[in-house]
Amino acid sequence: MKQLSPSLPVWSLSLGCPKNRVDSEHVLGSLGLPVRSVEHPGRARLVFINTCGFIEPAVRESVRNVLEMIERLRPLKRRPLLAVAGCMVGRYGATELAAELPEVDIWLPTDSMAQWPALLGRALGLREAPAPGRLLSTGPSYAWLKIGEGCRHACAFCTIPSIRGGLRSTPAEALRDEARTLLAQGVRELVLVAQDSSAWGSDFQPPQDLRELLDSLLPLDGLAWLRLLYLYPTGVTPELLRFIREAGRPLLPYLDIPLQHAHPDVLSRMGRPFARDPRRVLDLVREHLPGAALRTTFIVGYPGETEAQFEQLCRFVEEARFQHLGVFAYQPEDGTPAAALPDQLPEEVKERRRTTLMELQAGISEDWLAGQEGQRLEVLVDAPHPEWPGLHTGRVWFQAPEVDGLTYVSGPGVRPGALVEADIVEHATYDLTALA
């Protein structure tokens, strides 16, 4: 009788951005034993929480989840190993956090990420040596491909360089190998992410260009969609846009360009070293890719932002007609230059401006999606709907996973991981309904 390989029961939670999700998938896939996910932490040998520390609300969410887990584990006679990793640990330090939360068994800061599997293996008493791997947690339709670590910019409001360090691009060969492995598991869409994806390769000697990485990924068997997220405005060059246009599928004409604001004085105080008029970036995109879908993010309530400057931002959003837009109310983060600026705004002003801008975008989104009714589009199916049998959630090409709206789809051939043609029959503010 064949002896089954032992497995490691794990309960895991990854907070924050997709880059954190990738880090979690790598560490859990590299422990030397097959990992078996369990729904209740009491049945696990390892409870792994990967935290976010980018902004204060994310820190509070991370702390809340750790405290809740400590309380859930407290009555157990046999406690699993509680490991807390990620940006919150990198930001505040394991020593300081351990003094506050001694119930946590092991703290894993970002600067020791390469050692996480070995550190966990020793803490768990595993005999198996760690081996590079990845435990995919996004289902069969898509996966994130993290192409670099850290950031080369010095935006006045951002904590990332102090937490994650400077830019360190992952070599194209390693990324191509990882992409092949993901596609071999049936993944149809790869989503490239980094703190600034457009900077990929600029730290190599000699420097390389993002187009070289894309060239190496596009021919891979099984790749249906390739999507770019987090492009810094200065990285959106005519050369890159022409490359996207000429490459065609599977490279999607979908660009995520975090602009952060539209007023030159606010951008200057933010330390955003690009063209003072962000319209130039949009004009460049629409000149080369007139049918592109655009996503951006803005920060409102930045220190010194006047009502007139906020109104200019609203006019810009109304004119630009972004398909997708996220809005953050500014948070003063310890250690950042922006936290020391004068004219910090009241929370109620920041929240009012965030609500106003999101309401404006809601109307723009609904108008855009109304124009999609009657179209026949490909839908990449992600998962069964948790409440309605036969209905699935999925996305059309201009909907990125986890950050944009959904397409609800039903009909023949609709199953997770399938790419089906479907008629768009209904729209809401951010979502579509389709019949295959």
Residue ranges of the binding site for [4Fe-4S] cluster: 17, 52, 87, 151, 155, 158
**CA distances to 74, 145, 196, 218 from 193, in Å:** 37, 6, 8, 16
Cis peptide before 253 (omega within 30 of 0): no
Instruction: Give the Cα separation of 208 and 231 in Å (integer).
Output: 16
Angle at 343 between CA 150 and CA 346, to 5 degrees: 90
**340 CB neighbour count, 10 Å cutoff:** 12
Q: In angstroms, rounded to a whole number, what is the distance separating the alpha carbons of residues 161 and 252?
A: 29
Do the beta carbons of residue 254 and residue 293 sit within 8 Å?
Answer: yes
Binding-site residue ranges: 17, 52, 87, 151, 155, 158
Tokens, residue 193: 């992410």
Q: What distance in Å separates the CA atoms of residue 47 and residue 49, rounded to the nearest whole number?
A: 7
- CB half-sphere exposure, 208, CA atoms < 13 A: 19
Place of tokens 């409440």: 387
Q: Report the distance separating Cα 325 and Cα 404, nearest Å.
A: 9
Letter for the amino acid at 49? I
Residues 199 and 250: their CA atoms lie apart, in Å, by 21
User: Which of 376, 355, 360, 359 minimizes the C-alpha distance to 432?
Assistant: 376
Both tokens of 87, joined, read: 């940006």
